[in-house]
Amino acid sequence: MITVSDGALLNASDQDHTDDVVTPALWKVPIMLKDNIETRDMPTTAGSLALAGNAPGRDAPIVARLREAGAVILGKTNLSEWANIRSSESISAWSAAGGQTRNPYDLERTPCGSSSGSAVAVAIGLAPAAIGTETDGSITCPASVNGIVGFKPTVGLVSRTHIVPISHSQDTAGPMTTTVEDAAIVLTAIAGSDPLDPATAEADARKVDYRAALDAGSLDGARIGVMRFLLPTYSEETRAVFEQNLEALRRAGAEIVEITEAPAEMRQIGGWEIVVLLTELKHDLNAYLASTDPAQVRTRTLADVIAFNAAEPRETVLFGQDLFERAEATGGLTDPAYVEARARSLRAAGPEGIDKMMRDNRVVALIAPTTSRAWTNDPNDNDDMQGSSSRLAAVAGYPHLTVPMGFDQGMPVGLSFIGGKWDDARILSLGHAYERATQARRPPVMQPR
Strand order in the sheet with 255-259: 72-77, 30-34, 129-134, 172-177, 149-152, 400-408, 411-418, 365-369, 223-227, 255-259
Spatial distance between the Cα atoms of 266 and 269, rounded to a whole number of angstroms = 5
Crossing angle for the helix pair 336-349 and 266-291, nearest 10 degrees? Answer: 120
Q: What is the DSSP string of 91-136?
A: -TTEETTTEE--BTTBTTB---SSSHHHHHHHHTTS-SEEEEEESS
The type of residue at 329 is A
Question: CA-CA distance, 400 to 192, in Å (whole number)?
Answer: 18
Q: Give CA torsion, residues 411, 237, 94, 29, to 10 deg.
A: -50
**Closest residue by Cα to residue 253 from 436, 103, 67, 73:** 436
226, 441 contact by CB (below 8 A): no
> Any alpha helices (H) in 202-263, and if so which ranges?
203-206, 236-251
Residue type, 252: A
Which residues does the annotation mark as catalytic? 34, 114, 138
Instruction: Compute and round to an integer the Cα radius of gyration of the chain.
Output: 20
Question: What is the DSSP track for 241-254?
Answer: HHHHHHHHHHHTTP
In 3D, which of 120, 36, 113, 111 has the Cα closest to residue 76? 36
